[in-house]
């Protein structure tokens, strides 16, 4: 078994309104920053042990499918690194 | 033979629901989620509140608690299930109903009275109303914006699964009358069966005559046996 960190990034699907990001963008503009757009995402770092990268990825994928992301509004990606 | 009002950690409209149902003469009791549903359950209310502190997403944790497997089984057997506010979020997160209730367009918590148009009057939840009737019920949520793909929403509309829409005083679902930016002004929807419904507005807060309008009574009567 090898120790891995699986990083799951969950973001809103393209086209789904993100009012919190819009409010954050406006606040940055009020502070004088220039920017075109701002997107927010949630990042989960999962420490786990698995037989290999593929097994670690598969488990993290299932975590995203079953809880961390809501497929109606979210896309997600998973990156796995040895720790 | 009672209606079960499922209490999660952070539910806070469970007692309101119990009192409102008692006022209507509907026998109901609060059930702690870890205790499971009683065998003779005649209806289920998923009440409003902030289950699990809205961690991750509103309703996400409660939707995956073991009692929701029992609720889905009961719903499949035809037991009426009503999700209100956080209960609506739990309903969508658990797959009882489709779509998602997410952050209001305003990015703010909103607590106000809204007008709803009754889209269908031939369901247990709306038998007390006429189709197209306008009813007044309060909302209190930060994550009530109904979101779903355009294609799937069109199918739900074709199937008659939209139960309530936010509307103005003329019954028109205008953007101004839509408090949270919900797609097509959807405020409440039906599940696979007409006996399963979720809505963001609070019918239990519009039932007791002492506290204002009583337009919510008809919705709760969907739990009558």
Could you give phi then psi for residue B206, rounded to 5 degrees? -130, 50
Domains for chain B: give ranges and CATH numbers. Answer: 3-223 (3.40.50.880)
What percent of chain B has a predicted confidence (pLDDT) above 90?
Answer: 98
Residue pair A35/A29 in contact (Cβ under 8 Å)? The answer is yes
CA distance A72 to chain B (A): 6
| Active-site residue, B131 included | no
Q: Which of B13, B85, B92, B167 is catalytic?
A: B85
**Structure tokens of B150?**
């355009």
Domain spans of chain A, in order of start: 2-82
- Shortest Cα distance, chain A CAs vs residue B22, angstroms: 36
Please state, in angstroms and rounded to a whole number, the distance separating the CA atoms of residues A63 and A48. 12
How close does chain B come to A44, measured CA to CA in Å?
Answer: 11
Whether residue B64 lies within 8 A of chain A, CB to CB, comes out as: yes
The predicted structure's pLDDT at residue A19: 95
Which of the four pLDDT bands, split at 50, 70 and 90, describes residue B219? Answer: very high
Structural tokens at position B118? 């009754």
Give the torsion through C-alpha atoms of B206, B209, B215, B221, to 10 deg.
Answer: 90
Cα–Cα distance, B110 to A45 (Å, whole number)? 33
Residues of B in contact with A16 (CB under 8 A): 102, 147
pLDDT in tens, A10-66: 999 999 999 999 999 999 999 999 999 999 999 999 999 999 999 999 999 999 999
Residue A68's pLDDT band, with cuts at 50, 70 and 90, is: very high
- CA B115, B121, B127, B133 torsion-angle sign: positive
Question: Is the model's pLDDT at A5 over the cut of 90?
Answer: yes
Mean of pLDDT over chain B: 97
CB B74 within 8 A of CB B40: no
pLDDT class for B225, splitting at 50, 70, 90? confident
Closest by alpha carbon to B166, among B192, B203, B200? B200
Q: Is B1's pLDDT higher than 80?
A: no
Which pair of structure tokens corresponds to residue B85? 């506010």
Say which CATH architecture domain A2-82 belongs to.
Answer: 2-Layer Sandwich (3.30)
- Report how many Cβ contacts below 8 Å link chain A to chain B: 37
Q: What tens digit of pLDDT does each residue of B42-84 get?
A: 999 999 999 999 999 999 999 999 999 999 999 999 999 999 9
Residues of B in contact with A72 (CB under 8 A): 92, 98-100, 147-149
Query: Using a CB-CB distance cutoff of 8 angstroms, which residues of chain B are in contact with residue A20?
Result: 103, 107
Q: Is the pLDDT of residue B16 over 80?
A: yes
C-alpha–C-alpha distance, residues B116 and B203, integer Å: 11
Give burial (CB, 10 Å; 0-12/13-18/19+) of A66. exposed
φ, ψ dihedrals at B161, nearest 5°: -95, 0
pLDDT value of residue B133: 98
Write down the pLDDT at residue B150: 96
Compute φ and ψ for B139, nearest 5 degrees.
-115, 160
Q: Does residue B101 surpass a pLDDT of 80?
A: yes
């Amino acid at each position: 078994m090898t120790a891995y960190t699986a990083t799951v990034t969950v973001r809103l699907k393209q086209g789904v309104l993100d009012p919190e990001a819009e409010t954050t963008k406006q606040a940055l503009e009020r502070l004088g920053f220039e920017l075109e757009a701002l997107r927010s995402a949630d990042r989960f770092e999962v420490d786990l042990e698995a037989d290999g990268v593929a097994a670690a990825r598969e488990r993290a994928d299932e975590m995203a499918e079953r809880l961390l992301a809501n497929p109606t509004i979210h896309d997600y990606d998973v990156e796995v690194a040895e720790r | 033979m009672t209606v079960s009002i499922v209490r999660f950690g952070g539910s806070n409209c469970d007692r309101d629901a119990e009192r409102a149902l008692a006022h209507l003469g509907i026998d109901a009791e609060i059930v702690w989620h870890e205790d499971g549903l009683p065998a003779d359950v005649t209806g289920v209310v998923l009440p409003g509140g902030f289950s699990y502190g809205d961690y991750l997403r509103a309703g996400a944790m409660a939707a995956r608690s073991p009692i929701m497997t029992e609720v889905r089984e009961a719903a499949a057997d035809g037991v009426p299930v009503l999700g209100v506010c956080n209960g609506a979020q739990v309903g969508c997160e658990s797959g009882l109903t489709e779509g998602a209730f997410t952050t209001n367009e305003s990015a703010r918590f909103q607590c106000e009275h809204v007008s709803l148009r009754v889209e269908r009057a031939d369901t247990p939840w709306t038998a007390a109303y006429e189709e197209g009737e306008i009813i007044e019920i309060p909302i209190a949520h930060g994550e009530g914006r109904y979101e779903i793909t355009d294609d799937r929403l069109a199918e739900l509309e074709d199937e008659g699964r939209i139960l309530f829409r936010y509307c103005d005083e003329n019954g028109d679902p205008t953007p101004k009358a839509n408090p949270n930016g919900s797609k097509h002004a959807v405020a409440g929807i039906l599940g696979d069966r007409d006996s399963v419904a979720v809505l963001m507005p609070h019918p239990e807060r519009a039932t007791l005559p002492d506290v204002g309008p009583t337009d919510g009574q008809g919705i709760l009567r969907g739990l009558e046996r």
